[in-house]
Amino acid sequence: MPKRPAAYARDAVDRQALLWDAAQRGWVTPVIYAADTCLAERQEPAADQLEAAVAAGRHDALLIPLPGTLGDPARLMRLLSSCAHHGVRVSFTPVARRETGPAPSLFRRP
């Protein structure tokens, strides 16, 4: 069972789903790195904050929503590589999206 989990949320829909999923798994409440909050407060992007926290050893597990996690496949691969290097267990969870049209793809073709 993780003792210092983190979660990456794109918005309030993700945030609620991730908190619910973490509770269902029996995890303590994860630290949420929220993209929409960082943009509103003009902080360093949440993905960068999360990657730095993983590298610093602040988390032992990460919960990420699918589809479209981080929006950028290269950024996602860097984060997953960092998690593997630092022994952070990564779990993905499906999150229902409210927008119309197809869900964004995790891996986009150029």
Residue 73 lies in a domain: yes
Q: Is residue 51 part of a domain?
A: yes
> Token pair for residue 54?
């993983």
Residues 102-109 have a mean pLDDT of 43
Q: How far apart are the first and last CA of the chain?
A: 39
pLDDT in tens, 36-89: 765 555 567 888 899 999 999 999 999 998 766 666 788 888 899 999 999 999
The domain of 38 spans 5-94
Model confidence at 23: pLDDT above 90: yes
How many residues would you count in the chain?
110
How high is the pLDDT of residue 38?
55
The strand pairing partners of 92, in sequence order, are 64
Mean pLDDT of 87-106: 67
In a domain, 107, yes or no: no
| Distance separating alpha carbons of residues 2 and 61, to the nearest angstrom | 6
Instruction: Give the CATH number for residue 64.
Output: 3.40.50.1380
| pTM greater than 0.75 (yes/no) | yes
User: Is the residue at 102 inside a domain?
Assistant: no
Integer Cα distance of 82 and 85 in angstroms: 5
Residue 61 lies in a domain: yes
